[in-house]
Structure 1
Amino acid sequence: MPGEGDPHAEVMFIGEAPGYHEDRQGRPFVGPAGQFLNELLGRAGLRREQVYITNVVKCRPPGNRDPLPDEIAACAPYLDEQIAVIRPSVIVTLGRYSMARWFPNEKISRIHGKPRRFGDVVVVPMYHPAAALHQPALKELVEKDFDALREIIAQARAEAARTVEAQQSEEKAQQMRLF
C-alpha cells in the first residue's frame, strides 16, 4: 500500500503499517483510527485531500503485530522516495515506529507534539490515533497536539518563505556583481 493524498502536499502523515481495514481497501487510515485521524485533521485546519498519508511499512504485518526492524528497513527506500517526490515541509509521525526514523532513542511520551527541524523539513512526533482509541486517557493529549499543529504548519510556512526570500535576494546580489 503506497499511500494516498495530494502529490504536492505541504504536510505528510506517516503511520506504522496497514491494519485489517486498510489491507482490505488498499488505502491508509480507513478503519477506526483513520476516522479519528480525519477528525484530528479538522482540528488542525486540514482536510484529508490536502495532505499525503502513508506508512513506514507498506504491507500488513501478520496478525496485525508491530512492524519488525527488517520490515521497516525493507520498506525504507519506498518511504524515502515518497518523501523525495512529495517534498513536504512538515512530516507528522504517527506512532513510535515512524517516530523512530528521526528520533531513534526517544520515547513518544516525552517528545510528542514537539517539532524539530531536519534540513528543509519540520518533523512532529505524535501518538498514533489508534493509541487514543485503545487508551482513552490519551485522547485529550492527542487532540491538543493536533490543535497545536496548525501553528506549527504556519511557522514552517513562514520559515520556508523567509528562506526563499533570502535565496532570491542572494541570487539578485550575485547577478548585480556580474555587471
Structure 2
Amino acid sequence: MRPPLGTFDNAAPAAERLDLLTPPVAEAVAGGWGGFAADRIVYVDTDPAIADTAVFVEHHGPGLLDRPANCVVVAGKRGGEVTLAACVVLSRTPVDVNGAARRHLGARKASFAPMDTAVDETGMEYGGITPIGLPAAWPLLLDPAVADEEWVLIGSGRRRGKLIVPGKALAALPGAVLVEGLGI
C-alpha cells in the first residue's frame, strides 16, 4: 500500500495492523468514529529510535515537515481537583499550556502531566501517545490547523509506528474541541 504522504517502506490499513497498536488505540481504530471508517486510517511501521519529530522528518523526507502532529497530556489544576486532557498541535508549534489550554480547562494552573501519569492513564507508550483511543472522559483539545490538514501523521500508541489520519477525522473524535491559539 502506498501511504497518502511520506516515503514509508511498510504501510497498511490500520485495521489490518491492530496487533501492533495498544489495546485502546486498536479498539478505537477498529470501531471507527464520527463517520470515519477504519479503512481511512493508515499504519506505517517506523523505527522507534527515530520517533522524535525532528529526526523522523529528517529520515523520511522534508515533505513531512508540516504533517506531523504532537499529542501531549496536560494536567489542569484548580483547588485540589486535577483534570487530565490531551492537546494536539502540528509539530512545528508548541502547545500553549498556560494560556489556551489552561483557560479552556478552567484551571488556575496547567502543566504537562508527569510521564507516569500520562502512560498509566492512556495505556499508551510515552513518545507514542495519540488522540485516538484516549479515555472517554478526557477533553481533547485540537488546534484548528490540525483539523485543516488533509492528512496528519500522529503516534500509534507505541513509539514504533505512526498513523496517518485525515485531519477532519481527528476533529470528529469523541470529546474533541477546536481551540483557537492552542498551537503558538
The alignment's TM-score, normalised by the length of structure 1, stands at: 0.34
Structure (1 or 2) with the greater helix fraction: 1
- Higher strand fraction (1 or 2): 2
Q: Which structure would you say has the larger Rg?
A: 1
TM-score by length of 2: 0.34
